[in-house]
Amino acid sequence: MNNFNNDVLEFRNLYKELKEKYDKEKYIYFLGLYEDLVLNFWVNDIKSLDENTKLFLEIFLGLTKERDIDEIKLTIIKLKKIKKFLLKKGLYNTKTYKRLKILKKLIRKFDMEEFSNEIKLMELETDFLVEPTIENFKKLINFAQEYIDELCYRGNKEKIVSIIRDVYSVLKTKEYDSYIAVLIEKTVKKCEIDIKAIVDIIKEVLEKYGSNDKEELPLYFLTVLINVYKKYYKKDEYILNYDEEFRKKTETIDNNFSIEDISETDSSIWNPIEIAKKLKKELPKYIYGQDHVIEKIVDNFKNNLLNNIGPRATFLFLGPPATGKTYMAEVLSKLIDGYKFKMFNMEQFTHEDGGITLYGSDFKYSKARPGYLTDFVLKNPESIIVFDEIEKAHPVVQNTLLSIFNNGKMVDKCGWVKIDGKYVPFDGKKADEDDDYPKYPEIQEVDFSKTILIFTSNVGKALYNSEFFWELVKNDYDRAEDMIIEALQKEKSFTPPFLSRLLSGELLLFKKLDFMSLVKVVKNSFESYKQKIYENYNIEFKDIDELIYYFIVLSYAPRIDVRRLKSKAGSSFFDLISDYVVENYVDLSEKKEVKIEISKKVKDYYEKNIVPIIENDDIVKYMFRRNLTLRIEKDIELKNNTFIYKIVNIYFEKVKRVNDFGENGIILDIPQVSFDNIAGHVNAKKRLKEIVRLLKNPKIVQEKGIEIPKGMLLYGPPGTGKTMLAKALANEAGLPFIATTGTDLLNIETIDKIFDTAREYAPSIVFIDEFDAIGNRGKNDGREIVINKLLSKINGFSDSNDVFIIAATNYPEKIDPALLRSGRIDLLVEIKSLDKEARKFFIKKIIESFKTQGDFDLDMLVVYTTGMNGSDLEKVKREVGLLMIRKGYEFLTQELLIEVINTLKYGEKIEVNIEKTLKSTAIHEAGHAVVSKILRPEIAIEQITIVPRKKALGFVAFNDEDGYKKLTKQDIKKQIQILLAGRYSQIKKFNEEGIDTGASDDLEKASFLAFKAITEYGMDEEIKNINIKNLPSYYESTIEKRILEWLKEAEENVKKVIDEHWDIIEKLADYLIEKEYIDGKEFLKFFEKGKK
């Protein structure tokens, strides 16, 4: 006890002396005395241990700048020894722990960064010397590389050489020479140090592996050293004592090594080269159709010989859903020895407080617990962590992950204590109540440096649906990567700092699986399922034809979900067998076999209908865009313990599609209408067929250096078949067709949905009806946002011909000019009113739809339908059917059809029994007809009727569609006379009683025609050749006078015509009273007979 007291007294005296003046020898003695007291006496007196440790650290840290490196290194070794001793005894309490860790904090306070790195390197070297484990080796080699990188940036080459020498002196055994070689190679290339400064290390390493030593350094690493030596120190000394054969072998090796060139190395150390070799060999067995992804992953591991700060590797997996992103992560965890797998669905972290689940709740709160992420990594340092759909995580949650990238660590807010060798969540409540329980967590900072982080995301959907983009992935990956990075930045699904860290890792693009890759998925799944069937039911499949896998894949079209295909392919095929077993009470105690038979009918269908598509197209996309699936008709029987599984028939079937967008959905389909189904429109169809040719053969345009058109505008009167023509274009081009309207597009979200879907089914056509509803910009009604959005979508097609827009409108003048500029919707095609051929087509369809009686004069009916559009004629068909049902008619007659046409054009019949009204109407219409035939015989009369209707008591229908004719002044004056002929015929017949309201429409038209001739056409003798439409109002009185003059002249002239032909007018009126209605041909006969 006296010795102890003396030692304590001496310790205290030395403390006072060292505080007054530092002395190296006294300090070393003081250090030894402190160690001896701790290990022999203070170990049983925690209070004394805490107090005296505080005194010791005060001396050690108080004069840090006066200390040399050797003293510090010795101190660290002693403190580590003391720490381990106390831990082993279970006496390493919180105060002592915190005091021994105070070293780092005070060094930072002194702003001695380089000194801090020097100390950390010594700590790691000491750790390795005391406990030479793989983990301590990795920490040392990784930190050495980080420290060298920092010194390289600062240009301190002398210090770099010192570190290489220092690390090599610690790692002198052969098993670590590979890593020394890589460290030297990287340092020489990156920092441009003089190779002479470390040539002795290179020589020393090389001399270990002479020709007499059978344990040769792996060829790859040996060659690295030799090449560095040759390049930077050009003498023949590198030959040293190698035998001639081995020297030649190393000389022929190029710096760009393939994985196959690399020999085996110690598998107990993290060896990315060996992992790369294994992944290259094994990944294709599990992952299909993603060769470019496998290649990038292998390259990443091959080049990741020494990881820097942060996780061991970071990957960003991008691509459409169900392309194998998560599955790839699972496979990696199986193939990389010792690695565990953990996935976090980031849909669960949409709230800003969601990060607590990852990194724990503060230990100060009750029921605090560590985070699921930090807890898993603490217990499984070597693990693959998947953050699935990371874009859905709240920005705050994303930013909490930054520390992992920055320093390879994450702080858990709860933390752990180690009890009986196990990590246990820190219990704050127990810490307050139990004096023996630690007052603070022993561990809060979790090391992620050994983890492999994988982030998956579907961001960039517009690009994934573009064939052009995937062509770039195949032919110009760097450009494709630039495009996806730009898309990630634009979509703003990630915070800028988080996105920056993600992009510092490896970005990998997963594409949708092609047909043969899907076949491999099915085959693999089927083989696995087949084995289970054999093991569980004693049923064995024999010799499965490859076509079976083809048929199974196509039976899941048009939307093939890989996960569903993988899980259901085997079971769905086996259902027929299991149903048969259950229904027929089959005894499975004896072994059964399954023989699959494919009928000749099936094989013929396959050769004729499926093989050509597989050879010339992507059949998966072909069926997807056409909504097709493959139906398989099967049958089964049991013969002699063998199930005969028969594929009887297969055929393509169109699947009924649910609206893509819910209640306001837009149906997407390839229309069944062709140009052959549309009559008339000869010129328009010719133009549209030219567009079809370009869409089907884009290379025709591209070879001439011309951009493929992005869109076209169909304009013309309502009901002229613009939609039908657009559908026919889609059908002829074989492209999916999405129909929407300008009104729908006033919703910004709808624009995104429509064009995203169009991209998904691309190449495709978007048809926008009532395009003018989008409006014009500059009216402060919100249309500018919509139009700018639409323009961005149109301009987004600049690199491809994926989506073609067809817009239709009745009012082209209302469309914003920016939409119709060159390079946008710049092909304009006029769709005129239905011509005779088109109307005849509709009339034939109407007649063919009913049982008929009597003859039908198609030419005459075509004349009656002048001015009617497609919608009108469809309505005629509907009204005919309804009328026949109402009246109980069995047959359709020409008279009935004409009646319906007239009803739709001129209104329903009105029952009028007043004889005088009929006579007045008859003389009125007879006057129009006769005067028209006299003055303008070139205009054909379609029909004359005195049947009262809602729109008129009678009418003369004219047919003037034989071509556009410029009206002369005399034509207009004659037309005015024809309009006035009805009124003046009534006056001649009935005197003053002949003036009634029936002529109001005629008078309005006559006045307007005179007004137009005078004010716009420059046809008046007095006002002459000017258009005064926009001139000042003082012309109004002159115009009024001139209109009256024109009407007066017309009145005088028409009276003369009426007087000269009064006899035939009266006879025609009587004939109309008798017949009520006559057609154009009958009138012509009557007129010619009357003239004679």
Whole-angstrom CA distances from 510 to 275, 323, 560 are 21, 6, 16
Cis peptide before 558 (omega within 30 of 0): yes
CA dihedral 37, 38, 42, 47 (to 10 degrees): 120
- Closest by CA to 942, choosing from 884, 857, 816, 837, is 857
Residue 600 CB burial class (10 angstroms; 0-12, 13-18, ≥19): exposed
CA dihedral 1066, 1070, 1071, 1075 (to 10 degrees): 150
Give yes or no for a contact between 678 and 688, defined as CB atoms under 8 angstroms apart: no
Give yes or no for a contact between 803 and 755, defined as CB atoms under 8 angstroms apart: yes
Tell me whether strands 825-830 and 803-809 are parallel, antiparallel or unpaired: unpaired
Contacts of 481 (CB under 8 A, 6+ apart): 507, 509
CA dihedral 49, 50, 56, 57 (to 10 degrees): 140
- Closest by CA to 138, choosing from 334, 278, 272, is 272
Backbone angles phi, psi at 866, to 5 degrees: -50, 135
Backbone angles phi, psi at 646, to 5 degrees: -105, 125
Bridge partners of residue 940, in order along the sequence: 959
DSSP 898-954: HHHHHHHHH--B-----HHHHHHHHHHHHHHHHHHHHH-TTSEEEEEE---BSS-S-
Backbone angles phi, psi at 186, to 5 degrees: -60, -45
Report DSSP state, residue 42. Answer: G
Tokens for 746, please give them: 């006033």
Residue 804 CB burial class (10 angstroms; 0-12, 13-18, ≥19): buried
Tokens for 306, please give them: 């020494």
Report DSSP state, residue 317. Answer: E
- Start-end of H helices in 235-271: 244-251
Give yes or no for a contact between 148 and 103, defined as CB atoms under 8 angstroms apart: no
Q: Is 113 a catalytic site residue?
A: no
Q: Tell me, what amino acid is at 92?
A: Y
Give yes or no for a contact between 391 and 458, defined as CB atoms under 8 angstroms apart: yes
Rounded CA-CA distance 133/205 in Å is: 22
Tell me whether strands 940-945 and 955-959 are parallel, antiparallel or unpaired: antiparallel
Rounded CA-CA distance 862/839 in Å is: 6
DSSP 337-391: TT-EEEEEEGGGG-SGGGGHHHH---TTSTT----HHHHHHHH-SSEEEEEETGG
Positive or negative, the CA dihedral 282, 286, 289, 290 is negative
Query: Which one of the listed residues 125, 274, 925, 1066 is annotated catalytic?
Result: 925
Report DSSP state, residue 888. Answer: T
Give yes or no for a contact between 912 and 867, defined as CB atoms under 8 angstroms apart: no
By three-state DSSP, how is residue 1027 classified? coil
Rounded CA-CA distance 1075/945 in Å is: 9
Question: Greatest CA span in the chain, whole angstroms?
Answer: 161
Rounded CA-CA distance 801/546 in Å is: 36
409-419 sheet: strands from edge to edge: 422-425, 409-419, 443-447
Rounded CA-CA distance 1063/1090 in Å is: 8
Active site residues: 925
